[in-house]
Amino acid sequence: MSKNNTEDHDIRDNKMGVMPIKKLIVNMSVPMMISMLVQALYNIVDSVFVAQIGEDALTAVTLAFPMQNLIIAFGAGTGVGINALLSRALGAKEYSRSDKAANNGIFLAVITAIVFSILGHIITVPFIKSQTSSDTIVKYGSTYLGIVMTLSYGCLLQITFERLLQSTGRTMLSMISQLTGAIINIILDPIMIFGLLGCPRLGVAGAAYATVIGQSIASVLGLFMNLKLNKEIHFSIRSVLHPSGKIIGRIYFVGIPSILMMSIGSVMTYLMDLILISFSTTATAVFGVYFKLQSFFFMPVFGLNNGLIPVLAFNYGAEHKRRIKKALRFALLLAVCVMLCGTVTFELIPDKLLMLFNASPEMKRMGVVALRIIAIHFPIAAMGIVMGSIFQAFSKSFYSLFVSMGRQLVILIPVAWLLSKTGNVNNVWWCFLIAEFASFTLSLIFFKRVYGSEVAPMADDGVE
């Protein structure tokens, strides 16, 4: 795995420092928003097919999600560290450091995959059993989760290679990689779940195999595009096999808060599953359906956030004050518009959304109320996500960690537990709105502190 190391690094002004800011945000973010929209569509379609097996299968996949999300948290969180370090190094024209960030990132992805593969043989059954006593759900859940964990190499490498493309502004290539994985997944789902075109009927296991196959093919494509088309990064097998403790430390300085922040989401969903399953498995299935549906709006905003971070990091390194301010304002407007669409959709057609998942009358009755209550907080969440991008871009990810921990563990779960004591599951859903208001307030406080200390003192160089 190598590139011609005689290529001159100092060959261009990176577009993140010279392209008009609105055009740059669109150029950087829209491909990722589209790819993550397709990813969200895959998540929905995946659950739609699993729901055809039965509500127990849908519940099982919901119970497996916290651990599956943990894998993504490690990959994406480490990717944030790679992205911030690499983009900032490019902005400061420190090309040796950007190369080291890329090669050490690949090393970390492989090591993380090995750890999850080992855990996949050990903890899947105990993990599902800790949430339910249903033998059917345990069987479905442990089968699905075991495959996803032991074959997590594709997932983690796919995320890493996509982040390397994003870090150098090649978001279109990143989109192609992610779209490829998601589309393959969508195509394979019905074939492997229901045994079409000569494939054996694999049920829930088929959904898991479709997922890891799509991820693996996307990771190979991502590697190819980095080697052939990402001219600002030089790869070498020697650098991958001889990692730098100093570079890994810098990656994790930014990445660990992001890993913890996303891992908190896994803890939150696990605890919410425990609270809701005390009412019924249907309540847990409703929560799982909500999580799939909300991703259709949250994922594009996260794509916008992923496109915004390297823009902010680059212009922070280059000390372009006006570009940072314009990027934040424009991204905030886009994020709120996307999430308002989500709120309107959930309020107007929740019943039709639930019927996509073969909802029983009880699931439909419970789900309509849940979707309408939870969707109120979407625009507030959008503002918090955009404000959080500056924490990650400026290597202040611990602020994002504090906000996420406060929202999901300190407030959301205790409030959900207290509301569950009313004996009415419909009351539990209000915990999302209460937690979002609290986290927005905390985000605003931290944002003003970081902006005041890092951006405000910059000289106005007139660069726009």
Distance of CA 184 to the CA centre of its chain: 19
Cβ-contact 240, 106 below 8 angstroms:
yes
Q: Is 434 exposed, middle or buried (0-12, 13-18, 19+ CB in 10 A)?
A: middle
The amino acid occupying position 335 is A
Q: Assign residue 364 a region (left: φ > 0; alpha: ψ between -120 and 50; beta: otherwise).
A: alpha
Cβ-contact 81, 262 below 8 angstroms:
no
- Taking each helix axis from N to C end, the angle separating 135-150 and 95-120, rounded to the nearest 10 degrees, works out to 150
Q: Kindly state the DSSP code that residue 92 receives in the 8-state scheme.
A: T
Cβ-contact 354, 369 below 8 angstroms:
no
SS3 123: coil
pTM value > 0.75: yes
Token duo for residue 73: 């948290």
Cβ-contact 237, 1 below 8 angstroms:
yes
- Cα separation, 250 vs 402, whole angstroms: 20
Q: Is 423 exposed, middle or buried (0-12, 13-18, 19+ CB in 10 A)?
A: exposed
Q: Kindly state the DSSP code that residue 236 receives in the 8-state scheme.
A: -
> What is residue 18's predicted lDDT score, i.e. its pLDDT?
67
Pick from 189, 199, 59, 79: nearest CA to 131: 59
- Cα separation, 71 vs 74, whole angstroms: 5
Q: What is the DSSP string of 284-305?
A: HHHHHHHHHHHHHHHHHHHHHH
H helix intervals, 168-203? 171-194
201 C-beta neighbours (distance < 10 Å), count: 12
- Taking each helix axis from N to C end, the angle separating 55-91 and 204-229, rounded to the nearest 10 degrees, works out to 10
Cβ-contact 319, 348 below 8 angstroms:
no
Q: What is the DSSP string of 308-336?
A: HHHHHHHHHHTT-HHHHHHHHHHHHHHHH
Mean pLDDT by 10 residues, the chain (464 residues): 43 60 81 76 83 90 90 89 79 72 89 95 94 92 95 94 84 85 91 94 94 95 90 76 82 82 87 93 92 88 84 80 86 93 96 91 94 96 90 80 87 96 96 94 92 80 58
- Cα separation, 382 vs 404, whole angstroms: 14
Backbone angles phi and psi of 407, in degrees to 5: -70, -50
Rg (CA), the chain: 22
- Cα separation, 433 vs 88, whole angstroms: 35
178 C-beta neighbours (distance < 10 Å), count: 28
Q: Kindly state the DSSP code that residue 199 receives in the 8-state scheme.
A: -
Pick from 174, 167, 184: nearest CA to 105: 167
